[in-house]
Amino acid sequence: NAQGGLVKQMQYTLQNVMISQYDLDAAAEANNQEKIHLDYSHIEIKTFPYDAQGNAVAPQSWGYIVLVD
């Protein structure tokens, strides 16, 4: 923002989350990488848009229900 602070632009909300896989790749010493796979039943995505002057406008959100057998 104009004052130099952080600005929230997007938010994810997951429900019924479980870590289904975790990998640590330590082969490259300087570039360790962690990979986490998440399973979840619901996801909500919310965006926080701003107008041309940098003023916050109404958030927008949508969601999905993910059903897995």
Rg of the Cα trace of the chain?
18
| pTM for the model | 0.69
Confidence (pLDDT) at 8: 85
Tell me what pLDDT residue 19 has: 95
Residue-wise pLDDT tens digits, 4-19: 678 889 999 999 999 9
pLDDT in tens, 21-50: 999 887 766 678 889 999 999 999 999 999
> What is the per-residue pLDDT across 49-60, written as a single tens digit (0 to 9) for each?
999 988 889 999
